[in-house]
Amino acid sequence: MKGNLLVASLDGTVRRIELDGSGSNVTLLAPLFSNAGDFPLDVVARSDDEEMPGTVWVADFSVGKIRVFEPLDYESECGLPCTGADDWNLDEDGDGYKNADELLNGTSPCSSADTPPDADHDLLSDLLDPDDDNDSLPDTLDPFAIDPLNGQGTLPPLDYSWFGGDPGTGILDLGFTGLMTDGETNYQKLYEPELTTAGGAAGVLTLDEVRLGAATGSYNKQFSGLQLGIAVSETTGPYYLQTRILAPYFDNKPPSGGQTQGFFAGTGDQDNYIRLVLAAGGPQGALEVGVEVAGVYQAEVYPAALLSSDHIDLRLSIDTMTRTIQPRASIDGAPFFDVGPSISLPTGSALEEAFFGPPSLAVGVMASAFAAYPFSATWDDLQVQLGGP
């Protein structure tokens, strides 16, 4: 590896870059360690004439640790040179994951420091495991696919700023534990990490290109509906859910073609939720309040001056005494205003039970479109706070 470059990325990967003799052309770009930390910011390799030669040191900003990786000289657990063969009977680096599983995940079967994602640590990668959190719910049906407590271990208040590795857990290290499920698709296929900018120095979540699809009515095609579960009930008292949307310009054009951006709360599936989103409906855009109960979607649109704003805060205020939900919004830091009337959900419905307990309430972000007008969408935070309004 002499003459190679090592690069630490915010996705937790340290990559090896091999150059040609001129030093100006890349001949190899490959992961060296796929799980180098939650928020690695720096990487240092010790040379042959330094103390602890051959070791690689990685500084993990989010947890304040330095991780040291030692070379294995590519020897297998049997002391033989590693072949890297695509074989389900081999685990040549002795890390507990079969060679074939590692190759499917793009990790090295010859390095025990390079292991595939495995939420429940059962030595079967998340890519192949049908129940990633080992809670007996298949990933296709589990709204919180990497949370074995399904939200019951997460209590308000909660404020994810996504800055500096906050919170440094969950999907993309943003605290999300699942995707708005359609009942058929594995959660890992309901978002694209390569088209998502997560956290970093800016502390935001950006969908670089919003995919076509939505979760309205029988059209259960919502993509990138990232969510987590929160334990709330009548005893929680009043609480509110909130997110901030940055530069809500729909790429400098009025929203069209079913373009929306905002957030939602519900049971975690695509048939029972309330959403508050930016949408079309006026020359400067509009706010849409949508309610879907048991697959039936109804919405009201309220024109608002959105396109000239710097940021918009969206809020759902929940009154546990009256069992009502009031949508609210604030433009550029102005006082919050009501967006339409308060919402009363059908008594005994799955959606009402999610908001007032005991099942966990799914809270997340969403953006959608029905026509091919690509746009990006950015959120600055996600909050669940006690009190009101």
**245-302 pLDDT per residue, tens:** 998 777 667 788 789 999 999 999 999 999 999 998 888 889 999 999 999 999 999 9
Taking Cα atoms as reference points, which of 153, 173, 151, 171 lies closest to residue 161? 173
Residue pair 17/4 in contact (Cβ under 8 Å)? The answer is: yes
Taking Cα atoms as reference points, which of 288, 238, 276, 250 lies closest to residue 365? 276
Q: 74: pLDDT confidence band, cut at 50, 70 and 90? A: very low
Q: 368: pLDDT confidence band, cut at 50, 70 and 90? A: very high
* Helix (H), strand (E) counts: the chain: 2, 24
Q: What percent of the chain has pLDDT over 70?
A: 95
Residue pair 246/379 in contact (Cβ under 8 Å)? The answer is: yes
Taking Cα atoms as reference points, which of 116, 155, 122, 133 lies closest to residue 13? 116
For position 388, what pLDDT does the model report?
86
Residue pair 369/210 in contact (Cβ under 8 Å)? The answer is: yes
For position 52, what pLDDT does the model report?
80
Q: Domains of the chain by range and CATH?
A: 5-105 (no CATH), 158-386 (2.60.120.200)
Tell me the C-alpha distance between 315 and 328, whole Å.
5
Tell me the C-alpha distance between 212 and 231, whole Å.
31
Tell me the C-alpha distance between 316 and 246, whole Å.
18
pLDDT in tens, 296-337: 999 999 999 888 889 999 999 999 999 999 999 999 999 999
Q: What is the mean pLDDT of residues 169-189?
A: 95
- Residue 354's H or E segment, with its range, is helix 350-356
Tell me the C-alpha distance between 47 and 217, whole Å.
61
Q: What is the mean pLDDT of residues 184-194?
A: 94
Residue 229 has pLDDT above 50, yes or no: yes
Q: Say which amino acid occupies 146.
A: I
Residue 179 has pLDDT above 60, yes or no: yes
Q: How many CA atoms lie within 13 A of 222 on its CB side?
A: 31
For position 62, what pLDDT does the model report?
62
